[in-house]
Structure 1
Amino acid sequence: MDFNLKLKSNYSTSYIRKMHQLLNQAFSQAVKWKKIASNPVADADPPSVIYEEMSIWSLNEINEFLHNCKGERHYLTFLLAIYTGMRRGEILGLKWSDIDFNKKTIHVNRSVASIPKEGYMFTTPKTKNAIRQIPIPDFVLNQLSIQKKVQDDWKELVGEMYKDYDLVICTNTGTFQDPRNVIRVMKRIIKRAGVSVIRFHDIRHTHASILISEGVDIVKISSRLGHGNPKITLEFYAHLLPNSDDSIADILHNAIDSNYK
Structure 2
Amino acid sequence: MSRIHRRSAGAWEVILERGRDPRTGRRLRRTFTIRGTKKEAEREAAVQLSAMTRGTYVDPSKETVGQFLERWLRDYVEPSLALRTRLRYRDIVEHDLIPHLGNIPLQNLRPTHVIAAEQALRVGGNRKTGGSLAPATVRKIHNVLHRAMGHAVAWQAISLNPVDAVDRPTIPAATPRTLTAEQARTLLNVLEDHPFGLPLRTALLCGLRLSELLALRWCDVEGSGGRLLILQTLDSRHDGVVRFKATKTHRSARPVSVPPQLLIALHEHRAAQAQQRLVAGALWDDLDLVFATDYGRPLTSGWVRKSFYRLLDDSRLPRLPLHGLRHTMATLMLAAGEHPKVVSERLGHSNPSFTLTVYGHVVPGMHEEASRRLEESLATADLSES
TM-score interval, normalised by the smaller of the two chains = 0.7 to 0.9
Contact 1:55 1:202 in 2 (8 A): yes
The equivalences for 1:108-123 within 5 A come to 108-123=230-245
* Shift in Å, 1:133: 1.1
Change in CA separation of 1:18 and 1:229 when aligned onto 2, cut-off 3 Å:
farther
1:189 corresponds in structure 2 to: 311
Q: For 1:1-261, what aligned pairs fall within 5 Å after superposition?
A: 1-2=114-115, 3-5=118-120, 7-8=122-123, 9=125, 10=133, 12=136, 15=140, 18-19=143-144, 22-23=147-148, 26=151, 30=154, 36-243=158-365, 244=367, 247=371
Which of the pair has more CA radius of gyration? 2
In structure 1, the residue matched to 2:10 is none
- Alpha carbons 1:213, 1:242 under 8 Å: kept: no
2:214 and 2:298 in contact (8 A); partners too: yes
For residues 129 and 14 of structure 1, the distance between their equivalents in structure 2, rounded to whole angstroms, comes to 24
User: With CA pairs under 8 Å and 6+ residues apart, which has the higher RCO, 1 or 2?
Assistant: 1
Over the matched positions of the two proteins, sequence identity in percent amounts to 23
TM-score of the two chains, using structure 1 as the length reference: 0.83
- 1:157-184 deviations in whole A, cap 9, x for unaligned? 2211111110000011111111111122
Alignment CA distance shift 1:131-1:196 (3 Å): same
- Separation in structure 1 between the aligned mates of residue 321 and residue 192 of structure 2, nearest angstrom: 19
Q: Mind listing any 5+ residue stretches in structure 2 that lack a counterpart? A: 1-113, 126-132, 379-386
Other-structure match for 2:7: none
Structure 1 residue identity aligned to 2:248: K
- Assess if the C-alpha contact under 8 Å between 1:112 and 1:121 holds in 2: yes
Distance apart, 1:119 and its partner CA: 4.6
What TM-score do you get using the length of structure 2 for normalisation?
0.58
Deviation, structure 1 residue 136: 1.3
Paired AA for residue 231 in structure 1: S
1:133 alignment partner AA: P
Q: CA deviation at 1:96?
A: 0.4
Aligned length: 248
> How big is the alpha-carbon RMSD for the aligned residues of Structure 1 and Structure 2?
2.8
Aligned to 2:37: none
